[in-house]
Amino acid sequence: MLIRNICCIGAGYVGGPTMAVIALKCPHIQVNVVDTNKERINQWNDDDFDNLPIYEPGLGEIVKKCRGKNLHFSINVEEMIEKADMIFISVNTPTKTKGVGAGKVCDLKWVEKSARQVANFSKGHTIVVEKSTLPVRTAEVIQLILNSCQNQSKLEFNNKSFDVLSNPEFLAEGTAINDLLKPDRVLIGGDNPEAIESLRIIYKRWVPESKILETNIWSSELAKLTSNAFLAQRISSINTIAALCESTGADVREVSRAIGRDSRIGSKFLDSGPGFGGSCFKKDILNLVYLAEYFGLPEVATFWNSVVSINNWHQHRISKLIIQKLFGSLSGKKIGILGFAFKANTNDTRESAAIQICKDLLEEGAILLIHDPKVEKKKIDQDLSYENKYTNSWNIVDCVEEALENVHAAVILTEWQDYSNINWHEISLKMIKPAWIFDARSIVDKQKVLDAGINIWRIGDGST
């Protein structure tokens, strides 16, 4: 089946960039990205390409090229479903907060709603593609919903048919466009070779065939969870070694460099930092934990759960260390926070280590001056406003200088390039002495900070 019209349900961090790249590479396909969030859609349609709802290097240029030609953003969910030959479900799948499996299993209500919408409004044959990250065997649920509607529609003499494919997304925020243009692999899970071929033809326009992998649908779903679990596991592993380095006088950068040279280990994802964040790692591991428990494998569940608990422990460890270096009390002390996004080159703060560390510092009575070049002020306010506590205890500032004026310490939590070029000699004059830099991202020049008369703590540096 040759695809001419795609609908993507969900205009978020995955739906938006993924569909922009498909539109760029397949000018013969009309791509409609739909979302129930009107504000988000308005931002996607903003005349100023700096106001897109998602910040990703290179995204604005692609949207500029394709929007209004073969890439469209709207809230007309039903209409666009009706027109589509292929529908990507790219909606949010956060961890359930109540009921059975709360805190572990992901809440499928948005996926289920999307499947029902597809079942109700699609026409003719439709290929439904799971783009969201889903627990193993979700395709079965989607197929069940679609089938039940198929039976109904037969009664109404309106024949519909569906194929369900799994096509998990492996992009990383901050490098999404590059990851989409040059993926390590594209994974397609399914059982109908014709449907698989329809999706394969789309990717083949820019991805070498050897990188397009086919699996059965359950392997595809599990591979995505496993991939994120392995990545997060590396971060937790190196962060435990950072703690050990600090106690023993070793340096985690040197340890990483040494072990990364082993081709069996590889050098990527070996940077110690403030702990992993983002919307996916924790949620996907917790899903894996739930699956293991459900299938009677408690040892497997415990193993993966420890990756998340080490991450939590590590974030609190950094907060405690700051308190200890500042003489055991933060009451009334001003602290500059550099970076709030969970990593550089994104405006996403979901599960950012900055949220937990800032909350810990606020709990100790600190007054925070927070800077981030891309995160909106209202997002930071939302993330820190919990139980209406400490609402007057932080200020969001526009520049680094303002964040470091009259502060006792600066805490670097996101590796924005600008933070590695700070003139510490100038800043030092404005800080309260003894002043401290807590560099949780290893991006400042330690010697320059020391020369400026400022104390420094670096993650995993046993000599500071």
Q: Which of 83, 113, 123, 448 binds ligand NAD (CB under 6 A)?
A: 113
Pick the stretch among 168-176, 285-293, 406-414, 453-461 that binds ligand NAD (CB under 6 A): 168-176
Asked whether position 280 contacts ligand NAD by CB under 6 A, the answer is: yes
Asked whether position 171 contacts ligand NAD by CB under 6 A, the answer is: yes
Q: Which of 133, 227, 272, 319 binds ligand NAD (CB under 6 A)?
A: 133
For 43, other C-beta atoms within 10 Å of its C-beta total 17
Pick the stretch among 80-88, 90-98, 420-428, 454-462 that binds ligand NAD (CB under 6 A): 90-98
CA distance 364 to 366: 6
**233/256 with CB nearer ligand NAD:** 233
Asked whether position 14 contacts ligand NAD by CB under 6 A, the answer is: yes
Q: Which of 6, 7, 11, 129 binds ligand NAD (CB under 6 A)?
A: 11
How many residues appear in the chain?
A: 464
Q: How far is the CB of 162 from ligand NAD (least distance, A)?
A: 17
CA distance 310 to 290: 18
Asked whether position 12 contacts ligand NAD by CB under 6 A, the answer is: yes
For residue 71 the two structure tokens come to: 């890439």
Contact 307, 229 (CB under 8 A): yes
Q: Which of 151, 89, 158 is nearest to 121 (CA)?
A: 158
Asked whether position 414 contacts ligand NAD by CB under 6 A, the answer is: no
**15/460 with CB nearer ligand NAD:** 15
Sheet harboring 409-412: ordered strands across? 394-396, 367-371, 334-338, 409-412, 436-439, 455-458
245 flagged as catalytic:
no
Q: Which residue has the tokens 């009259």?
A: 406
Contact 35, 116 (CB under 8 A): no
Cα dihedral value 420, 423, 424, 430, nearest 10: -130
- Greatest Cα pair distance, the chain, in angstroms, is 80
418-426 long-range Cβ contacts below 8 angstroms, 24+ apart: 418/373, 419/338, 419/339, 419/443, 419/444, 420/444, 420/445, 424/448, 424/449, 424/451, 424/452, 424/454, 425/451, 425/452
Asked whether position 36 contacts ligand NAD by CB under 6 A, the answer is: yes
Q: Which of 3, 6, 7, 15 binds ligand NAD (CB under 6 A)?
A: 15
Sheet harboring 212-215: ordered strands across? 71-74, 30-34, 5-9, 86-89, 124-130, 160-166, 186-189, 212-215
Q: How far is the CB of 332 from ligand NAD (least distance, A)?
A: 38
Asked whether position 18 contacts ligand NAD by CB under 6 A, the answer is: no
For 383, other C-beta atoms within 10 Å of its C-beta total 17
Amino acid of residue 400: V
Phi, psi of 414 (to 5 degrees): -125, 140
For 321, how many CA atoms within 13 A lie in the half-sphere containing its CB? 23
CB neighbour burial string for 101-119, b if at least 16 within 10 angstroms, e if fewer: beebbbbbebbebbbebbb
Residue number with the shortest CB distance to ligand NAD?
Answer: 12
Q: Which of 3, 7, 8, 9 binds ligand NAD (CB under 6 A)?
A: 9
Asked whether position 227 contacts ligand NAD by CB under 6 A, the answer is: no
Contact 413, 274 (CB under 8 A): yes
Binding mask 240-279 for ligand NAD (x = CB under 6 A): ---------------------------------------x
For residue 251 the two structure tokens come to: 């340096």
Q: How far is the CB of 400 from ligand NAD (least distance, A)?
A: 27
Q: Which of 7, 13, 29, 454 binds ligand NAD (CB under 6 A)?
A: 13
Q: How far is the CB of 394 from ligand NAD (least distance, A)?
A: 25
Q: Which residue has the tokens 């002043």?
A: 435
**34/139 with CB nearer ligand NAD:** 34
Q: How far is the CB of 11 from ligand NAD (least distance, A)?
A: 5
Question: Contacts with ligand NAD: how many residues (CB under 6 A)?
Answer: 27
Catalytic residue among 7, 66, 245, 280: 280
**183/460 with CB nearer ligand NAD:** 183
**319/349 with CB nearer ligand NAD:** 349
Q: Which of 56, 163, 169, 364 binds ligand NAD (CB under 6 A)?
A: 169
**94/332 with CB nearer ligand NAD:** 94
Q: Which residue has the tokens 């990756």?
A: 307
Q: Which of 26, 30, 35, 238 binds ligand NAD (CB under 6 A)?
A: 35
User: What residues make contact with ligand NAD under the rule CB under 6 A?
Assistant: 9-15, 34-37, 40, 77, 90-93, 110, 113-114, 132-133, 169, 171, 173, 279-280
Active-site positions? 280
